[in-house]
Structure 1
Amino acid sequence: MRVTTRTGSSPLPPTRRAAGLFAALALGAALLAGCSSEGASTDCGLDACTVTFDRGVDAKANILGIEAKLIGAQGDQVTVEVAGEQVSLTMGQQAAEVGGFAVTLDSVTDQEVKIRVARNAGG
């Protein structure tokens, strides 16, 4: 009987290579988004996220390395906590500066509150 020992590794079959590439891409996308939420949904890019909070629940989201939380809403004014700082936002106002982020109120309804959180260019 003859035993052959190979040095180096044999190439992976194309299906295993494709599966590994797909898994790496999925993991990369998840890390890039870096979002999680409770009572909210997020839509994130590299430097900005839109967070839609459900009203009437303890709604929060972890985005861009910080937490955003809905504190309260009344009429067209909402209070949110972003990066540990509370800020009141009104429909139509310019972005509020909070901990190196620009926060704006996109919409308020009876069911949800939508804000946009973006990294400041210098922060």
Structure 2
Amino acid sequence: MISAPRRRIATALASAALGLTLLTGCSDDVSCGLDQCTVSIARETNAKVEVLGVEAKFVSADENTVTVDIAGEQIQLTKGQQAVDVGGLQVSLASVTSDAIQLEVSR
């Protein structure tokens, strides 16, 4: 049987390893913390990034709504809307500018 202090250390090490795994899944257009990533995608045809092992691709946008393809599934996101579950991730729209969209992504 594992003692309580060893169990806490093992849990802490496992959490740290998971955090590093999540961080290494990020690119230049993706900024990650331990449990959430902010993703910027250019508003241009075929613009895409990879986040947490899943491809996110820009499809279209207007002032408040964007359509993105996440893990092969097209979804529409609106500013202020709660996160949508897609491809095993929670995705929400953070902002829309004339140049890019910004998504919040978490597991």
TM-score, length of structure 1 as denominator length: 0.63
Q: Which residue of 1 aligns with 2:25?
A: 34
For CA contacts below 8 A with separation 6 or more, give which structure has more relative contact order.
2
Identify unmatched segments of 5+ residues in structure 1. Answer: 1-28
Identify unmatched segments of 5+ residues in structure 2. Answer: 1-19
- 1:1-123 aligned at under 5 Å gives the runs 32-36=23-27, 41-119=29-107
Shift of 1:34: 1.8
The number of aligned residues is 88
Q: Which residue of 1 aligns with 2:14?
A: none
Q: Which residue of 1 aligns with 2:16?
A: none
Aligned residues of 1:80 and 1:87 also touching (Cα < 8 A): yes
Compared CA separation, residues 114 and 32, structure 1 to 2 (3 A): closer
Distance in 1, matches of 2:67 and 2:104, equals 13
Shift of 1:57: 4.3
Distance in 1, matches of 2:36 and 2:58, equals 17
TM-score, length of structure 2 as denominator length: 0.72
Aligned residues of 2:45 and 2:59 also touching (Cα < 8 A): no
Q: What whole-Å deviation, never above 9, does each CA across 1:45-94 have from its counterpart, x for those lacking one?
A: 34321111111242111111111111111121000111221110000111
Shift of 1:103: 0.4
Compared CA separation, residues 96 and 33, structure 1 to 2 (3 A): same
Aligned residues of 2:90 and 2:105 also touching (Cα < 8 A): yes
Aligned CA-pair RMSD? 2.0
Residue identity over aligned pairs, in percent, reads: 50
Distance in 1, matches of 2:88 and 2:103, equals 16
Distance in 2, matches of 1:67 and 1:45, equals 18
